[in-house]
A and B are shown apart, each in its own frame.
With several copies, the nearest count.
Chain A
Amino acid sequence: MSGTTDMILVNKDGKRIDGRTPDEHRDIKIEAGVLANADGSAYVEIGKNKVLAAVYGPRECHPRHLQDPTKAIIQCKYNMQTYSVSDRKRPGTDRRSVEISKITAEALEKVVLTELYPRASIDVYIEILQANAGTRCAGLTAASVALADAGIPMRDIVPAIAAGKADGYVLLDLNKEEDNFGQADVPMAIVPSTNEIVLLQMDGNMTREEFDKAIEMGVRGCHDVYKLQKEALLNRYSDGGDSDE
């Protein structure tokens, strides 16, 4: 967020460097049921982000001391592949991944009927194949579809998207340049049926007015993502989704 640049990120006509309007998200592609072994899976592209999510479970919980006798626990592992970013990432878990894994699992807890599976674990794996600003939202969006694809009972599906600020404008779904040289980033995820927020982070600099606008934009963006999530799941079932099992 703290980068500075001479680059004009939003021009006089309110157009962004990739031609989008401020409240327009990047192209989004969602596909459900893309992996044969996983109980559920999804592939998501948001702009140049490419993300795979897989769900295994409900299954026996390891390590056992994490078992909850009243409900299933959701364990999430977000992982950036080494070549997904411009500087090679070292393999293995870093602090950023740990944080994202934690808040992603927490966001999913709200909608999964974990109480149906005491002592079990529902394991969510998110692999970032290519990163271009917005991977945590793309990952959560994919994970949510993968959970539904796994047939795990859910109250709703969770869509996620970021709003933010660049060149002084509040914008939806920042791309890499806007993220690097902008002034704020607000990744968020909601429960669409109630607009409750299940994931929210913010960093940068925003007035209350700007932030309110970002949230409004983000909620609308989430609903757009939600529509595409549902379409992906519909396609999955109409295509005879269990073909590769």
Chain B
Amino acid sequence: MSKKIISEIRRDHIFNLLKEGKRSDGRKLDDFREIKFETGIIESADGSAVVEMGKTKVTAGVKIIPGTPFGDTPNLGVLTTGAELIPLAHPDFESGPPSPESIELARVVDRGIRESGMVDMSKLCIKEGEEVWMCFLDLYAINYDGNLFDAFNLASVLALKTAIIPNEQYGKGEDVPLPITCLPISVTSAKLGSSLILDPNFDEENISSARLTVTTDDDGNFRAMQKGGQGSITLDELSHCLDMAVAKGEEIRKLIG
């Protein structure tokens, strides 16, 4: 993701359209691309989902495994989130240890899920201090065309929402759904010049100066935020981003509800 090159002409084209409140793919500033999703696509996972936002495509899978709780939370389950920007998904992605970009993605998605209490960790205790369910949430970019934050967040939420605790496999009784309390939805604004747009595609992302990801819960409260990029956002812009995040978050929540 280091060297994102986009021609001057394409850049100017995007900025000229934005001045008229338009986007190069015909969307309004606060439109997402078409969202498609499917769950349960991977039988070997305990929960899985594929999400497409336009040409951006990602998968999420959850494996739920008995393990030892952390010393300071002996009665809580554990959530671990990883994101892989595999080279299959984009010519700029490289093999090797996780890049700062993939680490940030995983941590922001994780934060939204964790802070919203989406998964009721207290119900994942098998034996206090000894055994709890550990949820390994792994995210893969399959085709990258911008806005991995929201695509990964949505795929994660769908995979967890449909996940099954594999009690049978471990001789612990019947399989039950993972206990879910709410659906945290992230909405990412990108700042291009003085315009704020939602769900930036690859070209838009490359010429944006700043990014704000805002994750809301079912009540429209804020659970996680992350500003990125080398630019700044004004207090007014912040306010607009929050408004959009609440409105669009509700819309997406309904879509997958």
Contacts and interface: CB of A to CB of B under 8 A. Distances in A.
* A touching B, CB within 8 angstroms: yes
Interface of A: 1-2, 35-38, 48, 50, 52-54, 56, 59, 65-66, 77, 79, 81-88, 91-93, 95-96, 98-99, 101-103, 106, 109-110, 123, 125, 127, 129-132, 186, 191, 194-208, 211-212, 215, 219, 244
A81 B138 contact: yes
Contacts of B90: 37
B138 A202 contact: no
B88 A35 contact: yes
Contacts of A132: 44
Given A37-B89, A123-B87, A48 B63 contact: no
B55 A56 contact: no
Interface in B223-255: 223-235, 238-239, 242, 246
A211 B242 contact: yes
State the majority secondary structure of interface residues on B.
mixed
5 contacts: A83-B45, A196-B233, A196-B234, A204-B223, A205-B115
A40 B77 CA distance: 42
Nearest to B55: A36
Interface stretch (B9-17, B30-38, B100-108, B123-131): B100-108
Contact of B223 (A54, A129, A196, A203): A203
B204 interface: no
A2 B238 contact: no
A84 B228 CA distance: 27
Contacts of A37: 55, 89-91, 143-145
B242 A106 contact: no
Contact of A83 (B42, B228, B239): B42
Contact of B55 (A93, A219, A244): A244
B88 A54 contact: yes
A56 B144 contact: no
B230 A207 contact: no
A103 B246 CA distance: 24
A144 to B, nearest CB: 14
Contacts of B117: 2
A83 B91 contact: no
